[in-house]
């Protein structure tokens, strides 16, 4: 007996910043594999989230990407380039727009790009939980002119419409072998996810421009004998004044972030975690190619 033939496909999840791409990836994978926040440009790396649908003998590899935006520096340019590079290796695209805000030039630019690439495209109109019926219909009507394969209104946070997204994606997935084991959820290393979880806690607390200036480097993850994981990480900022904000008055900010991140990390490792978090100034790292190289962008 041979196995029934399988389908597998790489699907780039693409859209403007903050439309809910990473929330959708987590919802479809059924686990938190990427971080989310209300700050635009939360995602900085293309991370793959894996969804295996046993009944359909299908594996979907969702590539979460940074929001496409007008770049302001070397980092921004690299982020956009990552998105387009991932389209080049994908079998299909899940194009995310949001219902509460009208389709704008940013969305249209992405739509044009997707047409040029020529992949099958499913459009998700996200956040329908916070948009009126009229707005949703108007959005579907306008997006419909792009003439993509399907349009699905969803709410990633309320888990509405996700089954239909999966059905649509399965229907455009080509035959092929699985690339990941059936239980895999992501291709991200524990080290990267650790840094991301710490960064997420800062994104959710800090205002204005500071989130963009912040990066987290994980220096070491050491599993000690017994039940303890020791994590040493450094929060990088671009200027001395930002370092003060990241540490907070009397160290309150860095302590609170550490406490909150530790909870996530203990879930991730399934062990007690000791987190040693420091802050360091790395002047203008977002504009320095050698820094971006070292940080893996």
- Contact residues: ligand GTP, CB under 6 A: 15, 17-23, 36-38, 40-43, 66-67, 126-127, 129-130, 155-157
Parallel, antiparallel or unpaired: strands 58-64 and 7-14: parallel
Q: CA angle, 107 as apex, 135 and 213 as ends, to 5°? A: 115
What are the Cα distances from residue 78, in Å, to 13, 18, 66, 116, 269? 17, 18, 10, 20, 31
Question: Looking at 8, 43, 52, 286, which residue binds Mg ion (CB under 5 A)?
Answer: 43
Smallest distance, Å, CB 36 to ligand GTP? 3
Q: Which stretch binds Mg ion (CB under 5 A): 15-23, 46-54, 179-187, 228-236?
A: 15-23
- Judged by beta carbon distances under 5 to 8 A according to partner kind, the member of Mg ion, ligand GTP, none in contact with residue 38 is ligand GTP
**Distance in angstroms (rounded) separating the CA atoms of residues 60 and 7:** 8
Query: Which of ligand GTP, Mg ion, none does residue 23 bind to, with CB < 5 to 8 Å depending on kind?
Result: ligand GTP
Q: How far is the CB of 279 from Mg ion (least distance, A)?
A: 24
Q: Is 86 in the site for Mg ion (CB under 5 A)?
A: no
* Shortest spacing between CB 130 and ligand GTP, in angstroms: 4
Q: How many CB atoms lie within 10 A of CB 187?
A: 16
Could you tell me the smallest distance in angstroms from the CB atom of residue 5 to ligand GTP? 33
Distance, in Å, from the CA atom of 137 to the CA atom of 143, rounded to the nearest integer, reads 10
Q: Which of 126, 186, 183 is nearest to 153 (CA)?
A: 126
Q: What is the DSSP letter of 262?
A: H
Q: Which does 156 bind (CB under 5 to 8 A by kind): ligand GTP, Mg ion, none?
A: ligand GTP
Record the tokens describing residue 177, joined without a space. 């072998």
- Of 18 and 286, the one with the shorter C-beta distance to ligand GTP is 18
**Residue number with CB closer to Mg ion (42 or 58):** 42
Region 19-38 residues binding Mg ion, contact defined as CB under 5 A: 21-22
In contact, 12 and 65? CB cutoff 8 Å:
yes
Give contact residues for Mg ion (rule: CB under 5 A).
21-22, 42-43
């Amino acid at each position: 007996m041979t196995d029934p033939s399988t389908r597998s496909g790489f699907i780039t999840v693409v859209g403007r910043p903050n439309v809910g791409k990473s929330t959708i990836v987590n919802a479809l994978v059924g686990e938190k594999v990427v971080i989310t926040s209300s700050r635009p440009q939360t995602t900085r790396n293309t991370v793959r989230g894996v969804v295996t649908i046993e009944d359909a003998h299908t594996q979907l590899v969702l590539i979460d990407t940074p929001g496409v935006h007008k770049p302001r520096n070397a980092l921004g340019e690299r982020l956009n380039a990552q998105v387009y590079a991932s389209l080049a290796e994908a079998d299909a695209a899940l194009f995310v727009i949001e219902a509460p805000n009208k389709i704008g030039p940013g969305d249209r630019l992405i739509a044009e790009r997707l047409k040029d690439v020529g992949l099958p495209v499913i459009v998700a109109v996200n956040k329908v939980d916070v948009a009126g019926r009229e707005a949703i219909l108007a959005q579907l009507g306008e997006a419909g002119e792009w003439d993509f394969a399907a349009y699905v209104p969803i709410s990633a946070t309320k888990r509405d419409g996700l089954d239909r997204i999966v059905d649509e994606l399965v229907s455009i997935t080509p035959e092929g072998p699985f690339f990941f084991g059936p239980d895999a959820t992501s291709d991200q290393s524990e080290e990267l996810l650790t840094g991301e979880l710490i960064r997420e806690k800062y994104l959710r607390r800090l205002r204005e421009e500071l989130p963009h200036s912040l990066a987290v480097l994980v220096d070491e993850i050491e599993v000690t004998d017994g039940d303890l994981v020791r994590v040493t990480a450094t929060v990088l900022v671009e200027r001395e004044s930002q370092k003060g904000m990241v540490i907070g008055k009397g160290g309150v900010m860095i302590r609170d972030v550490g406490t909150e991140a530790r909870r996530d990390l203990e879930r991730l490792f399934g062990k007690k975690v000791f987190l040693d978090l420091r802050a360091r100034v790395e002047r203008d790292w977002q504009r320095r190619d050698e820094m971006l190289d070292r940080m893996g962008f």
